[in-house]
Structure 1
Amino acid sequence: MAPIPTAPDRLHDIGFVLLPGFSQLAFSSALEPFRMANHLAERRLYTWHLISRDGHPVAASSGLTTAVDCAMEEGLTLDLMVVCAGAGVQHCCDRDTLGWLRRLAGRRIPLGGVCTGGYVLAQAGVLDGYRATLHWEHFSSIHEALMFPAVTFTHQLFVIDRDRHTSSGGVAPLDMMLNLITRQQGLALAESIAEEFIHERIRDVGDRQRIPLRIRLGRSHPKLEEVATLMEANLQEPLPLDELASYAELSRRQLERLFQRYVECPPLKYYMDLRLLRARLLLRQTHMPVTDVALACGFISPSHFTKSYHDRFGHSPSRERTRRSERLAGDATAEDETQLPAPASDEA
C-alpha cells in the first residue's frame, strides 16, 4: 500500500502526563491516532513521551501499570502536553503538578486534557478564559459548587480553543486527535486512520456528549425523566403533548411547568431538538435520502424539516450532507468548520 500523502511539516512532539487512576481507554484513544499516522504515512510525523510526577510507573483505573519515559521535568519542550486522568481526579491536583502545568503554560506550551484531565487544568488555572470540556459525570459537581467561574465548560465531546485541547472520556479523545491530525496533515490521512480503527465517522466540535437528563440538570425528577425517555423512544412518530403528560400522570400544564423549571425550555422544543439531533446523525452516518431522514424523525413536510434544521444548526440538511465532500475537495472553509458551525445557507 502506498503511503498516504501528508503535509510537508516538521515533526510533532506530544507529551502524555499519566496521573494515578487515569482512564486507559481515554489515554489509548488519544495516543493511537499518532501511531497509526506514522504507520500509514510510512514516516515519522509524530513522536510522544509518557510522563509521570516522579518518573515511576503509573497504575490506571483498571489496575494496569504503565511505564513512563521521564518525570515532570522543567526542560521539556513539546508541541502539546496532554493530561490523562480518570476517577478520583481531585486527589491528583497536588501543588507540584499544578505548579508544573502553570510553568508550562507560562512558556506557551499548548496544553490538553482527556477524560477528567480538564479538571486538573482548571485547578491549575490554565483554562481561565477558555472554553473546555470533561466527562459529563463531573459537570454537576462543578456547577453546583460554583467551581472554575473563569472557565466556560461545554457539553461537547471535545473542545479545541486556541492552544487548549480538552476532551471527554471514552473514545472521544480519538475524535479530538483525528481533528488535530486533519488540521496538521490533511483529511485523507485522518479518514484513513478512522477506517483502520473501524471508526465510522470522525466527530467534530459540534458533537455533544449524550448526558443523562438528571446529570445534566444536576438534580432528578422522576416524572421528567419518564417523559424524556418516552420522547427518545418515539422520534419517528412523535407523541402529542397531552399523551406524554397522561403517561406520566400529569396535566399538560404541570408538564410544561416541569420542563420550564428544570430544562428551561418548553417540552415541545425539547422534543424537537431530540428529533433534529437524530436527523443530523442520519445525515452524517447514512446515505438515506433527505426526505427519508425527515420521515424517520417525524417530519411529514420536507419544507418544515428543512426550516427546522436550518433554525437549529445554521444550515440546511443538504448542506450537512455535502460538508464532507467539500472538505475532501479542499474547500477553503474546511478548517474553520472544525471550530465554528457551518455558515447559514438558503439551500434546501
Structure 2
Amino acid sequence: MDIANSTTRPFRVGFLLIDGFALLSYSAAIEPLRAANLLAGRKLYEIEQLPVLGGQSVSSSGAIIKASAHLGERVDFDLILVVAGGDPARFSDERIYQWLRHLARRGVRMGGVSGGPVILAQSGIMAGRRMTVHWEHAPALAEFAPALILERTIYVIDRDRLTCAGGTAALDMMHALITGHHGADFARRVSDWFVHTEIRPAGGPQRAGPVERYGTASTPVLRAIELMENHIADPLELGQLADLTGLGARQLNRLFKDKLGRSTMGFYRDLRLDKADNLLSQSTLNITEIALAAGFANSAHFSHSYRQKFGRSPSARRGQFARSDLPERHRV
C-alpha cells in the first residue's frame, strides 16, 4: 500500500454497504476516518456511502445509512470497503461483482469488513492475496474457495487488499491505514480519541502480544514491526519505516540492534521469509506467487534468500507436503 503524502488531495474511501451489515463493524471502520479529519483540521479522507440499490442501506439493527454516491458514478475512489453481515455467502449480484472487478483492474484498493471479504472472494479478486474474515463465515468461505489464503487473524493488509474480521477489529485495521498515510504519532492520536489504547497487531489475537513475542517494550520498535507486518508484499524502505515511527534511520537501526540483536531490514527480511515459509506449507500458490506475496521481486532472489535463512530451497520445503494434503491444511 502506497504511503500517501499529507499535502495531496483527500484519500477517497467508498463504503459499499450490503443490507444487513453490522453497525458496529461499519462504525469502527468509518469513525477513525472522520476523527482523522477532525484532528487534522482539514479533510484527509473523503467518505462516500454506497448502498447496493436505491438511496439507502439498512443495517442488521435497522439503522438507515443514506447514499452519498451510487455505483457506476464517475468517482475516483482510492479504496472501496465492502461491509456485510448476516449470511454474505447467500449474497449474489453479478452487477456488484463486475463493478468490483472493474475497479480492481483500474488499480483501486479493495477491502472487506466482517462478511465483506466473502463478497470480495465471490467477485474473484482475492486470488493470490492473503485475507481474513469473521470466524463465523470462515468455514463456508473455505469450502467455497479452498485455494484462498485464509488466515486466523483480526485483519490482513496484502498490497492492494485489506480485510478484517469485523467488530472492533476494524479500529485496528484503520489505525494501520492511517499510520501508513500520516505516521504513527497521528494514528495514535486518532486511536486515543476513541479510548482505543491497546492497538492490536495484524496477527492478533491468535498469537501472543508483541511485547511477549519479541521480548521488547520499545514503542518505536513495536511500531516499526507493526508497519512491517502490514507491508509484507510491498516492503517499505528503511527511511519510510523511520519516518513513520518518528525516528531517524540510524536511531531506528540502533534500537533494533540493541533490543532484537538484528538490523531493522534484516529483521524485516526474516519476517517476510517466515511468512513465505508458512505459505509454502499452507497454500497451493506456486513459488513465484509466494515470492511476490512475500515482497521479493522474483523467484530467484526469493530462493537465494530462503536458502540462506533455512538451509534448503523453497522447492525442497514444498516437497515435504503432499499436494493432496494442501486443501485440508489450508482451511480455516
User: TM over 0.5: same fold?
Assistant: yes
**2:104 is equivalent to residue 189 of structure 1:** no
For structure 1, the residue ranges without an aligned partner over 5 or more in a row are 1-5, 210-275, 284-308
Please tell me whether the aligned partners of residues 178 and 190 of structure 1 are also in contact (alpha carbons under 8 angstroms). yes
For 1:200, give the aligned amino acid.
T
Alignment of structure 1 residues 15-34 onto 2, 5 Å: 15-34=14-33
Q: How far apart are 1:327 and its partner, in Å?
A: 6.3
Please tell me whether the aligned partners of residues 187 and 327 of structure 1 are also in contact (alpha carbons under 8 angstroms). no
For 2:161, give the aligned amino acid.
R
Q: Deviations over 1:30-83 (max 9, x none)?
A: 000111001111111111100012232111111222111122115332110000
Q: How far apart are 1:338 and its partner, in Å?
A: 3.3
Higher relative contact order by CA 8 Å / sep ≥ 6: 1 or 2? 2
**2:260 is equivalent to residue 345 of structure 1:** yes
* 1:76 counterpart residue number: 75
* 2:7 counterpart residue number: 8
**2:164 is equivalent to residue 205 of structure 1:** no
Q: Deviations over 1:189-213 (max 9, x none)?
A: 111111110112222212136xxxx
For 1:55 and 1:119, locate their aligned partners in 2 and report how far apart those are by CA, in whole Å: 22
Please tell me whether the aligned partners of residues 89 and 140 of structure 2 are also in contact (alpha carbons under 8 angstroms). no
Please tell me whether the aligned partners of residues 24 and 168 of structure 2 are also in contact (alpha carbons under 8 angstroms). yes
For 1:95 and 1:121, locate their aligned partners in 2 and report how far apart those are by CA, in whole Å: 12
For 2:230 and 2:99, locate their aligned partners in 1 and report how far apart those are by CA, in whole Å: 30
Which of 142, 156, 159 in structure 1 is aligned with 2:153?
A: 156
* 1:179 counterpart residue number: 176
Q: Deviations over 1:176-230 (max 9, x none)?
A: 0110100100111111111110112222212136xxxxxxxxxxxxxxxxxxxxx
* 1:335 counterpart residue number: 227
For 1:55 and 1:165, locate their aligned partners in 2 and report how far apart those are by CA, in whole Å: 26
Q: How far apart are 1:346 and its partner, in Å?
A: 4.5
* 2:52 counterpart residue number: 53
For 1:76 and 1:106, locate their aligned partners in 2 and report how far apart those are by CA, in whole Å: 15
User: Which stretch has the larger CA shift, 199-208 or 108-117?
Assistant: 199-208
Q: Deviations over 1:319-341 (max 9, x none)?
A: xx11x23467xx6x77324335x
CA, structure 1 residues 94+11, in 2 after alignment: closer, same or farther (shift >3 Å)? same
Alignment of structure 1 residues 262-341 onto 2, 5 Å: 277=208, 280=209, 283=211, 313=213, 315=214, 317-318=215-216, 321-322=217-218, 324-326=219-221, 335-339=227-231
* 1:239 counterpart residue number: none
Number of matched pairs:
235
For 1:345 and 1:29, locate their aligned partners in 2 and report how far apart those are by CA, in whole Å: 33
For 1:32 and 1:49, locate their aligned partners in 2 and report how far apart those are by CA, in whole Å: 13
For 1:334 and 1:167, locate their aligned partners in 2 and report how far apart those are by CA, in whole Å: 16
Q: Deviations over 1:103-160 (max 9, x none)?
A: 11111111000001000000000001100011011122233x2x22332010110000
Q: How far apart are 1:11 and its partner, in Å?
A: 1.5
* 1:35 counterpart residue number: 34
Please tell me whether the aligned partners of residues 80 and 108 of structure 2 are also in contact (alpha carbons under 8 angstroms). yes
For 2:227 and 2:6, locate their aligned partners in 1 and report how far apart those are by CA, in whole Å: 14
* 1:127 counterpart residue number: 126
| C-alpha RMSD over aligned residues | 2.5
Secondary structure class of the residue paired with 2:133: coil
TM-score by length of structure 1 reads 0.62
For 1:205 and 1:37, locate their aligned partners in 2 and report how far apart those are by CA, in whole Å: 21
Q: Flag as ranges the 4+ runs of structure 1 deviating above 4 A.
A: none
For 1:193, give the aligned amino acid.
V
For 2:230, give the aligned amino acid.
T
For 1:138, give the aligned amino acid.
H
Alignment of structure 1 residues 100-139 onto 2, 5 Å: 100-139=99-138
Secondary structure class of the residue paired with 1:7: coil
For 2:20, give the aligned amino acid.
G
